[in-house]
Amino acid sequence: MILKHLDLKSNIEGLVTNCYIIEDEVTKETMVIDPAGEVDKIIELLDILGSNLKYIYLTHCHVDHIGAVNALRESKGGKILIYLDEAEGLENPEINLSGVLTSMPISIEPDARVNEADVLHIGEQEFKVIHTPGHTKGSSSLYCEKEGFVFSGDTLFKESWGRTDLPTSSFKDVISSITNKLLTLPSDTFVYPGHGSPTKIVDEAPIYLKLTAGRD
């Protein structure tokens, strides 16, 4: 399996988003996670890899994660996937913030809506969908048990978590998603977030143990 990372300028000035590309070396099946912008960079890398784009996976609907979706699909095909509770926001510029934070509202209709515990296949690799609400109500993460990593979107960052002052967000839910779902993954699991540097579950667990200490 090939895993590539791109730092992409999003539609929000000054905000860089992590975009991930996973390719099966045998079948060339490929998934792009959160194509935030700069579609030419994504297409260039896909061409170098000789990729057959199967999925465009969106961890959530916010504008800084979806800016290159339409252009990428037009150029390379691929099915747009998002968690079922997040599809409404993907189509609504007020909820995905493109109509609030930029001058170019974006509305995207996904090709399919995924659900908790769905499994996506890229070649022989399996990626399990984990519903991780909080940053948005339909935020999701993708876990690859075989390779030992999870794509956490804007739910879990290195030593932090996603904002909860936005439409459909909830501080209670994001902390619950982290403590009850992501931190239950094996401690040596690598975490690839939507922004910033990678981390590991073992390094994040102490933060949330302190945060939730004394709670029932």
Query: Does 213 score more than 80 pLDDT?
Result: no
Contacts of 40 (CB under 8 A, 6+ apart): none
Q: Tokens standing for 139? A: 């935020």
The pTM score is 0.95
Q: What is the pLDDT of residues 80-97, one digit of tens each?
A: 999 999 999 999 999 999
User: Cα torsion at 32, 159, 62, 98 (round to 10°)?
Assistant: -120
Give the orientation angle of helix 39-49 with respect to helix 69-76, to 10 degrees. 30
Which pLDDT band, with edges at 50, 70 and 90, does 191 fall under?
Answer: very high
- With a CB cutoff of 8 Å and minimum separation 6, the contacts of 61 are 82, 86, 89, 90, 95, 96, 136, 138
What gap in Å lies between CA 58 and CA 65, rounded to an integer?
7
Closest C-alpha to 34, from 84, 85, 80? 80
Over the stretch 55-73, which tens digit does the pLDDT of each residue have? 999 999 999 999 999 999 9
Q: What is the DSSP letter of 37?
A: S
What domains lie within the chain, and their CATH numbers?
2-211 (3.60.15.10)
Q: What is the Cα Rg of the chain in Å?
A: 16
